Amino acid sequence: MQRSDRSNRFSSEGSNDSGQVSQKNKGRSPTQAAAVSGAMTAVWMMLQMALPSAPALAQTRQESLSYSDLLERIEDRQVKRIEIDSARGVARVELEGESADTALQEVTLFAGDRNSELIEAARDQGVTIDVQPTASNNVVTSLMIHGLLAFLLIMGLLMILRRSSNASGQAMNFGKSKARFQMEAKTGVMFDDVAGIEEAKEELQEVVTFLKKPERFTAVGAKIPKGVLLVGPPGTGKTLLAKAIAGEAGVPFFSISGSEFVEMFVGVGASRVRDLFKKAKENAPCIIFIDEIDAVGRQRGAGIGGGNDEREQTLNQLLTEMDGFEGNTGIIIIAATNRPDVLDSALLRPGRFDRQVSVDPPDIKGRLEVLEVHARNKKISQEVSLEAIARRTPGFTGADLANLLNEAAILTARRRKEAITMLEIDDAVDRVVAGMEGTPLVDSKSKRLIAYHELGHAIVGTLLKAHDPVQKVTLIPRGQAQGLTWFTPNEEQGLISRSQLMARITGALGGRAAEHVIFGDAEVTTGAGNDLQQVTNMARQMVTRFGMSDLGPLSLESQQGEVFLGRDWMSRSEYSDEIAARIDAQVRAIVEHCYDDARRIIRDNRAVIDRLVDLLIEKETIDGEEFRQIVAEYAEVPEKEQYVPQL
């Protein structure tokens, strides 16, 4: 019973110790926790090895003889053999008649030479005496504990040394480049996967050929370009092009973001630039891709009080590495930005970024190619025409088109359909452009007023020859708008005539004009707030930038962006107060003229507007073709000049 009780106690204590170890390991690193756990496991195993003799020892001591009893049994010739363990100070006694399996009884001896009486009595009676010294359990346990302490001390010192070495290594690596390096960049993107930007692909194809077959160009004395700057709006595919170059070239590829150069400590960015180019020179020929280079390449000396010293030092080091005293033979730097106006002029000179490749939004042919690329892994119904989607999405970038098809796929899955149909495509276009669909309006005075407002835009835009044709009119709320009128803009938006601008201003004022004519001046609402902002902006640009007013062909205002690092903080007027007053008068005259035209069109077509309002309230959406057919019954609809692209 005692042995089982003690073993149970030991097992429970072991479980508690392991629980404490797990609590202590919280907050440690994985290496430290593993070391501590291993050490405690070693302790437990050694204790298990040392402690099993304790129960047996207790049992033998229950049946042990006293010193005097032993002498009496020797005299009575009941003792067969005595084993003396001098290290422990005990004598193990084997009595006559006991079997070999019986445990020997232990007798505690006196210290020193006071046991001579026992030895003489045993010798007189012919008892066999053996001296067999064994190591004491206490001594063994003591040695184990001391060895364990030494082991733990050594492990602690090793962990401290490792931590200090890691800290020193991090301090030494603080100025190292964070560029991701691939010996052969297997990005999974090739030029065949990039569509809609053929001109940019042709420019960059030469860079790939330079890297693969430089002798073709060096034979005629051509030098490899040092830098290529990809410039374009967000989402046009600049980073995708860099991945395609890496996949096509098959040379070492370094990729890093411009923001990873700049730190709060002065000199770190320059150190990282030096380290990056050092690694690149060791692996030349190679490509370095810097995404969002405007984070580090902004104009120097443009800030109030001298600017950011750390950023300027980083830029200076980048300029030196690209085309400095030593040069960087065999290294091509590709950078991407959507803000070329803020870059330092030293970056853009020949010898650094030799080429600037414009990555513009695709035209209708490019959009069709992009849609074909993104439609490869989607289930699209046979009735869906990618060409029709490309015609409907002028101004969309590659990222917009990818998002469009993804939204259509999400709607298809939500509606539990097996393939994407034109209904999901139309809803996805509306969602991408205007926002999520809201709750339809109930039939009320507010809904009727919104219907007149939207039909005011549509009827004016339809009856003006220079205006874009109507695509659809809807009362379904999207985003912040309670109703929407969609126009299909002409593909050729590079040059806009004065008549087109006047038509757009008149069409934008059609909603306010309908409210004024139908409900009166007292019932005019705030729904035209955004329209009036657009109208004022277009009219002011006609006067101050395009020379389309009585002031003559003068450009009175430059197209300036936002204030950048203090540059143009104190903006000065480019004209006198007299000219400013005349500009305001011209803007007002243009807007009033267009507003009068819009009200005239609304009054002349009141009957068709009333019919269309009833139809719109009933159906909530009227398609552009149906809308034009109804208007043609009441008025002559001018034939629009449509751009027919060659696909």
Please spell the DSSP secondary structure of 280-330, one letter per residue.
HHHT-SEEEEEESGGGT-BPTT-STTS--HHHHHHHHHHHHHHHSSS--TT
**Claim to verify: residue 85 and residue 125 sit in the same structural domain:** yes
Which CATH number goes with the domain that contains 504? 1.20.58.760
| CA atoms of 497 and 490, how far apart (whole Å) | 12
pLDDT at 617 exceeding the cut of 80: yes
477: left (phi over 0), alpha (psi -120 to 50) or beta: beta
**Claim to verify: residue 86 and residue 220 sit in the same structural domain:** no
For 340-363, the pLDDT digits (tens) are 888 888 888 888 888 888 888 888
37, part of any domain: yes
Between vectors from CA 252 to CA 247 and to CA 254, what angle results, nearest 5°?
90
Domain end residue (candidates: 413, 434, 455): 434
For 376-402, the pLDDT digits (tens) are 888 999 888 898 888 888 888 888 999
**Claim to verify: residue 285 and residue 154 sit in the same structural domain:** no
| Total of domains in the chain | 5
Do the Cβ atoms of 129 and 82 come closer than 8 Å?
A: yes
| CA atoms of 606 and 59, how far apart (whole Å) | 116
Give me the half-sphere count of Cα atoms (radius 13 Å) on the Cβ side of residue 555: 4
Helix (H) or strand (E) holding 92: strand 90-95
For 215-273, the pLDDT digits (tens) are 888 888 887 778 889 998 888 888 888 888 877 877 788 888 877 776 655 557 778 78
**Claim to verify: residue 30 and residue 88 sit in the same structural domain:** no
Domain end residue (candidates: 143, 172, 201): 172
**Claim to verify: residue 374 and residue 475 sit in the same structural domain:** no
Those residues with Cβ within 8 angstroms of residue 65's Cβ, 6 or more apart along the chain or in another chain: 73, 93, 105, 107
Q: Which residue has the tokens 């019973």?
A: 1
Please list the residues that pair with 81 across neighbouring strands: 94, 128
Query: Nearest 10 degrees: CA dihedral of 405, 411, 416, 419?
Result: -20
Calculate what percentage of the chain has a pLDDT beyond 90.
19
275, part of any domain: yes
| Nearest one of 318, 313, 306 to 179, comparing CA atoms | 318
Those residues with Cβ within 8 angstroms of residue 196's Cβ, 6 or more apart along the chain or in another chain: 237, 362, 366, 367, 369, 370, 398
**Claim to verify: residue 427 and residue 454 sit in the same structural domain:** no
| CA atoms of 487 and 462, how far apart (whole Å) | 10
Give me the half-sphere count of Cα atoms (radius 13 Å) on the Cβ side of residue 614: 6
Do the Cβ atoms of 553 and 547 come closer than 8 Å?
A: yes
| Nearest one of 486, 482, 456, 489 to 473, comparing CA atoms | 486
For 276-317, the pLDDT digits (tens) are 888 888 887 788 888 888 888 888 765 544 445 677 778 888
| Nearest one of 167, 68, 95, 82 to 130, comparing CA atoms | 82
Between strands 484-487 and 286-291, the pairing is: unpaired
Q: Which residue has the tokens 């034009």?
A: 628
| CA atoms of 550 and 541, how far apart (whole Å) | 14
For 485-507, the pLDDT digits (tens) are 988 876 656 788 899 999 999 99
**Claim to verify: residue 390 and residue 459 sit in the same structural domain:** no
646, part of any domain: no
For 538-588, the pLDDT digits (tens) are 999 999 999 999 888 888 876 654 444 444 444 556 788 899 999 999 999
How confident is residue 473, by pLDDT bands cut at 50, 70 and 90? very high
| CA atoms of 335 and 318, how far apart (whole Å) | 12
Between strands 331-337 and 286-291, the pairing is: parallel
How far is residue 22 CA from its own chain's centroid? 35
Residue 570 identity: M
**Claim to verify: residue 193 and residue 129 sit in the same structural domain:** no
Which residues are part of the catalytic machinery?
A: 454
Domain end residue (candidates: 72, 105, 134): 134
The count of other CB atoms within 10 Å of the CB of residue 470 is: 25
Mean pLDDT value across residues 519-531: 90
pLDDT at 509 exceeding the cut of 90: yes
| Nearest one of 280, 258, 260 to 268, comparing CA atoms | 260
Strand order in the sheet with 105-108: 105-108, 90-95, 79-85, 128-131
How confident is residue 36, by pLDDT bands cut at 50, 70 and 90? very low
**Claim to verify: residue 492 and residue 541 sit in the same structural domain:** yes
pLDDT at 66 exceeding the cut of 60: yes
Do the Cβ atoms of 264 and 532 come closer than 8 Å?
A: no
Domain that holds residue 288: 180-358
645, part of any domain: no
pLDDT at 372 exceeding the cut of 80: yes
Query: What crossing angle do the helices spanning 445-463 and 510-519 adopt, rounded to 10°?
Result: 130
Mean pLDDT value across residues 57-83: 68
Do the Cβ atoms of 638 and 463 come closer than 8 Å?
A: yes
Which CATH number goes with the domain that contains 401? 1.10.8.60
Which CATH number goes with the domain that contains 120? 3.30.720.210
**Claim to verify: residue 223 and residue 372 sit in the same structural domain:** no
| Nearest one of 209, 63, 53, 10 to 140, comparing CA atoms | 53
647, part of any domain: no
**What is the predicted pLDDT for the residue at 111?**
67
For 163-195, the pLDDT digits (tens) are 766 544 444 444 455 555 555 556 677 777 788
**Claim to verify: residue 121 and residue 29 sit in the same structural domain:** no
528, part of any domain: yes
Please list the residues that pair with 82 across neighbouring strands: 93, 129
Query: What crossing angle do the helices spanning 498-508 and 510-519 adopt, rounded to 10°?
Result: 40
Q: Write out the DSSP string of 420-481.
A: B-HHHHHHHHHHHHH-SB-PPPPSSHHHHHHHHHHHHHHHHHHH-TTSPPEEEEE-S-BTTB
Which class for 561: exposed (0-12), middle (13-18), buried (19 or more C-beta within 10 A)? exposed
**Claim to verify: residue 128 and residue 140 sit in the same structural domain:** no
| Nearest one of 532, 552, 543, 522 to 595, comparing CA atoms | 532
Which class for 412: exposed (0-12), middle (13-18), buried (19 or more C-beta within 10 A)? buried
Dihedral sign computed on CA atoms, order 270, 271, 273, 274: positive
| Nearest one of 327, 212, 330, 223 to 282, comparing CA atoms | 330
404, part of any domain: yes
| CA atoms of 110 and 90, how far apart (whole Å) | 9
**What is the predicted pLDDT for the residue at 265?**
53
166, part of any domain: yes
How confident is residue 514, by pLDDT bands cut at 50, 70 and 90? very high
Query: What crossing angle do the helices spanning 53-62 and 137-172 adopt, rounded to 10°?
Result: 160
| Nearest one of 490, 493, 485 to 509, comparing CA atoms | 485
Q: Write out the DSSP string of 499-550.
A: HHHHHHHHHHTHHHHHHHHHH-GGG--GGGHHHHHHHHHHHHHHHHTS--ST
